[in-house]
Copies of this chain bind each other. A is one copy, B any other.
Amino acid sequence: MLRFAFLLCVVLLAAPAALAQPADPVVLVVHGGAGTISRANVTPETEAALRAALDTALRAGHAALEEGRPALDAVVASIEVLEDDPHFNAGRGGVFAADGSVRHDASIMDGSTGLAGASAGTMHVRHPIQLARAVMEHSPHVLLTAEGAEEFAMQQGLELAPNTFFHTERRRRSLDAVQQREREQSGDLGSEPADWQMHGTVGAVALDQSGHLAAGTSTGGMTNKRWGRVGDSPIIGAGTYADDATCGVSATGHGEYFIRLGIARDIAARAAYLGESCVDASEVVIHETLTNAGGTGGVIVLDAQGRVAMPFNTEGMYRGHITRSGAVTIAFYGDE
């Protein structure tokens, strides 16, 4: 009986803190990939450019929310900025597949309706996040792939670009380096990719004035990917998930682990079934579930009360959020 009373007290004391709504809630959170991000390997110029890009992305989404537009609009507005910036592995800065092409994957989910859209393996859609949204809103499907997805994009009048539009010298050098190493080694195409090949991807989670959540993710995938490999970014429940009643989540990391573990959905499931906050659930899923499985990466998480979390188990993750009043926070490293 004593123990019961003690537990009751713990619950009663913890509840107000867990349920408190922030005075100035976070309304938008973005990421630009996780990985070996330390002060030693980011030049001041690159750091400034990356911070500026995340700031621009956050303010673009915030502007949409300020106008009273839905969370989906904010997610798309933010991700478009990052897709257009060659610093990130999405849109223009997408990494090269083994055959020298850039192939994009993206997904989006509406937390108020449970609807979702995604595309995988497109080569000519300028803003893959727009395609994901069009799949959700203008097709009866969730996931379209490759040439078929591009045909749909054309029917929807989305902006196209030649694949060369997405090519950058920096990503070309990365591909060359991987393929050089591959030639020097066994030539075993089935070996585990280096961790850095797997990281990169952009994402956003937004909370609109009506209290609805949306989440989206966009990526060029993995450097030197072959065999039509698709990671977690276009997989609802793995790379992206949103449900007003639980959490909005966008992930970045070693996609195979995120698919097998259903990372985004698992965070929401813990919130739904264990009653954990999204903040606590995401910490457990990244620092215990993902880490114990040997996977690396991170997530951004937002709930309908504007509470945010950005856990990762890599050295760093490009990340930031903006509050309703417009206060921006941006961080890269593990000690920030």
* Complex Cα–Cα for A269 and B120 (A): 27
> Is A170 located at the chain interface by the 8 A CB criterion?
no
> How many copies altogether?
2
- Quick one: given A144-B228, A145-B145, A152-B227, are A236 and B260 in contact (CB under 8 Å)? yes
| Contact across chains for A229 and B259 when beta carbons are under 8 A apart | no
| Contact across chains for B138 and A190 when beta carbons are under 8 A apart | yes
User: A226: which B residues are within 8 A, CB to CB?
Assistant: 148, 151-152
Residue among B141, B142, B155, B227 making CB contact with A151, cutoff 8 Å: B227
| Contact across chains for A262 and B262 when beta carbons are under 8 A apart | yes
- Quick one: given A149-B227, A229-B144, A256-B142, are A262 and B237 in contact (CB under 8 Å)? yes
User: A147: which B residues are within 8 A, CB to CB?
Assistant: 228
- Quick one: given A269-B273, A273-B269, are A143 and B230 in contact (CB under 8 Å)? yes
Residue among B236, B261, B270 making CB contact with A259, cutoff 8 Å: B236
> Is A309 located at the chain interface by the 8 A CB criterion?
no
Query: Which of chain B's residues has its CB closest to A264's CB?
Result: B262
Residues of A in contact, count (CB < 8 Å):
49
Distance (Å) between the CB of A225 and the closest chain B CB?
Answer: 8
> Is A116 located at the chain interface by the 8 A CB criterion?
yes
User: A56: which B residues are within 8 A, CB to CB?
Assistant: none
Interface flags for A132-175 (1: CB within 8 Å of B; 0: not) read: 00000011111111111101100100000000000000000000
Residues 75-126 (chain A) with a chain B CB within 8 angstroms: 109, 114-116, 120-121
Residue among B138, B191, B229, B273 making CB contact with A143, cutoff 8 Å: B229
> Is A193 located at the chain interface by the 8 A CB criterion?
yes
> Is A17 located at the chain interface by the 8 A CB criterion?
no
Residues 41-100 (chain A) with a chain B CB within 8 angstroms: none
User: A34: which B residues are within 8 A, CB to CB?
Assistant: none
> Is A274 located at the chain interface by the 8 A CB criterion?
yes
User: A193: which B residues are within 8 A, CB to CB?
Assistant: 140
User: A146: which B residues are within 8 A, CB to CB?
Assistant: 121, 145-146, 228
> Is A235 located at the chain interface by the 8 A CB criterion?
yes
> Is A265 located at the chain interface by the 8 A CB criterion?
yes
* Complex Cα–Cα for A139 and B143 (A): 23
> Is A266 located at the chain interface by the 8 A CB criterion?
yes
* Complex Cα–Cα for A140 and B197 (A): 12
Residues 230-244 (chain A) with a chain B CB within 8 angstroms: 230-231, 235-238
Q: Which of A139, A148, A193, A238 has the most CB of B within 10 A?
A: A148
* Complex Cα–Cα for A155 and B193 (A): 18
Closest 4 CB pairs of A and B: A148-B228, A273-B273, A145-B228, A269-B269
